[in-house]
Amino acid sequence: MTKRKPADMSFRSWIDAQIEEARQEGLFDDLPGAGRPQASLREAEDPLWWAKSLVRREKLEAVPPALEIRRKVERFRLALRAYRSEAALRDAVALLNDEIRALNRTTVSGPPTSQAVLDPTEVLQSWREALAGQAAKSDMEEA
């Protein structure tokens, strides 16, 4: 049953009395985060605190599509050695180029997209060089 505020008490006094009673009963003992600074107090000055906490809590990435495609191309270039055949690499380049074209055609928010499609011949040359370098490295390790 909830307690009602006595008529002769102010709201502030009544609330303070309830808090003190709960403290004496130990209801505030062993709370999560006890003894540590509250992050929300530091964020109170930031007008976008709620958006930033939502992004953190939901583990969202707020990256515009134009930047995300650049990241994807960079990751693709770094992972060239993972492809074991020219056909698989050509297929991957074709898919990535389709995605780049679609993004260049449709993006309306964020920075403009300026990612050029990948040249399959250039990518294949880089792949061959990476594999040749990997083979040379393994030959040196065996010797």
Phi, psi (deg, nearest 5) at residue 38? -85, 120
Q: What is the pLDDT of residue 106?
A: 83
Q: What is the pLDDT of residue 34?
A: 74
Residues 114-129 have a mean pLDDT of 92
Q: Is the pLDDT of residue 107 over 70?
A: no
User: Can you spell out the DSSP letters for 75-110?
Assistant: HHHHTGGG--SHHHHHHHHHHHHHHHHHHHHH--SS
Query: Tens of pLDDT along 33-74?
Result: 777 776 666 666 778 877 888 888 888 776 788 888 999 999
Q: What is the pLDDT of residue 39?
A: 66
Out of 10-14, 108-112, 119-123, give the one with best mean pLDDT: 119-123
Sequence spans of domains, the chain: 65-142
Q: Is the pLDDT of residue 1 over 60?
A: no
Contact 100, 114 (CB under 8 A): no
Distance of CA 60 to the CA centre of its chain: 5
Instruction: Report the predicted TM-score, pTM, of the whole model to 2 decimal places.
Output: 0.55
